[in-house]
Amino acid sequence: MKYAKEWRILSVLFLTFCGLYAKQPIATVHTIPGKQEALLKFNLTPGEKYLFSSVIKQVITQEIMGQTVTTKQDMASDYIYDVQTVKDGITTINVTFSAQKMDTDVAGGMQQLHFDSADPDAGTAELKVLANLVGKSFVMQLNETGQVESIQGLAEIIDSIDTEHREILKQFFGDPSMIQSMNQMTNVYPDQAVSKGDRWTKSSSGSLAGMLHSTVTSEFFLSDINSHSATLSVDGKMVFSKLETGSNPLLQNADLNLNGSQKGTLEVDTKSGLPMQTTLTQQVTGTLGIQGMEIPINITSAITITGKKM
pLDDT tens sequence across 53-85: 999 999 988 887 788 889 899 999 999 999 999
Rounded to the nearest integer, the mean pLDDT of the chain is 80
Which of 13-22, 34-43, 187-196, 236-245 shows the lowest per-residue confidence on average (mean pLDDT)?
Answer: 13-22
For residue 143, which phi and psi values (nearest 5 degrees)? -95, -175
The band of 246, judged by pLDDT with boundaries at 50, 70 and 90, is low
Amino acid identity of 33?
P
Q: What is the rounded average pLDDT of the residues 122-128?
A: 85
Amino acid identity of 180?
Q
Q: How far is 178 from 171, CA to CA, in rounded Å?
A: 10
Q: How far is 309 from 45, CA to CA, in rounded Å?
A: 12
For residue 120, which phi and psi values (nearest 5 degrees)? -60, -30
Instruction: Identify the pLDDT of residue 184.
Output: 61
- Asked if residues 17 and 301 have their Cβ atoms less than 8 Å apart, the reply is yes
- Asked if residues 140 and 267 have their Cβ atoms less than 8 Å apart, the reply is no
Instruction: Identify the pLDDT of residue 247.
Output: 55
Q: How far is 221 from 43, CA to CA, in rounded Å?
A: 21
Instruction: Identify the pLDDT of residue 69.
Output: 86
pLDDT for 200-211, tens place per residue? 988 776 666 556
Q: How far is 56 from 176, CA to CA, in rounded Å?
A: 19
Residue 200's DSSP bridge partners are: 29, 220
Nearest residue to 3 via CA among 92, 85, 110: 110
Pick the residue with more confidence: 166 or 191?
191
Helices (H) and strands (E) in the chain, counts: 4, 13
Where does 4-309 sit in CATH, by number?
2.30.230
3-class DSSP assignment, residue 42: coil
Q: How far is 59 from 222, CA to CA, in rounded Å?
A: 30
Q: How far is 308 from 310, CA to CA, in rounded Å?
A: 6
Instruction: Identify the pLDDT of residue 240.
Output: 81
